[in-house]
Amino acid sequence: KSHFLKALSDLMALSKDGKLPEPKEVVMLAHAGLVRHLILLESFVTLCYARLDMNKCILEFVDCGHTGIVQLHGRTGLCEVLHGDNLPMGVREGEIYNQTSAPFEPGDLLLLYSDGVTEARNPAKELFGVERLEECVQTNGHLEPAALEEANRKAIFTFSQYNRLADDLTSV
């Protein structure tokens, strides 16, 4: 997190007109500060760096090998998963990260989630998966965020038939 805050601060200081840097610029500068350390640790980081432009109703994001963003369209009730095509951070020095944009409308719901949500397994070793998550979001998308999160959590625990899962169930 501190690498991203530093990257944003450094890029803002270099800006002549005070304009926010593009998300891909922030990600690439943060990656440059982390990549050697991650390679030495033989580790990597998946993430999605996202920015909502409320005036233009545009979501701009850099998906670094993460799970995607579920978008529930309020007008139609249809769900889709938004993805980018970048490698995780720490895989390769000098990586060029691509930025993706998607429109949204008032009433849309955007759900970011960790892989523990979709990789929860039942006793038959089946994954909860993205399709079940989309169904939960479509069914419960009208709820307030905390209630939606709880509905998703209950669906995952019911599916898995376990009291405890192997990974976290993080969502925003």
Q: What is the pLDDT of residues 129-146, one digit of tens each?
A: 999 999 999 999 999 999
Predicted local distance difference test score (pLDDT) of residue 16: 86
**Do the beta carbons of residue 49 and residue 4 sit within 8 Å?**
yes
pTM: 0.89
Strand stretches in the chain, DSSP E: 47-53, 58-64, 69-72, 79-82, 100-103, 109-112
| Amino acid at position 8, single letter | L
pLDDT score of 52: 96
Whole-Å CA distances, 85 to 8, 46, 54, 63: 22, 12, 24, 7
User: Given the DSSP bridges, would you call strands 100-103 and 79-82 parallel, antiparallel or unpaired?
Assistant: unpaired
pLDDT tens-place string over residues 41-96: 999 999 999 999 999 999 999 999 999 999 999 999 999 999 999 999 999 999 99
The answer to whether 158 touches 150, Cβ cutoff 8 Å, is no
| pLDDT confidence tier of residue 30, bands split at 50, 70 and 90 | very high
pLDDT at 137: 97
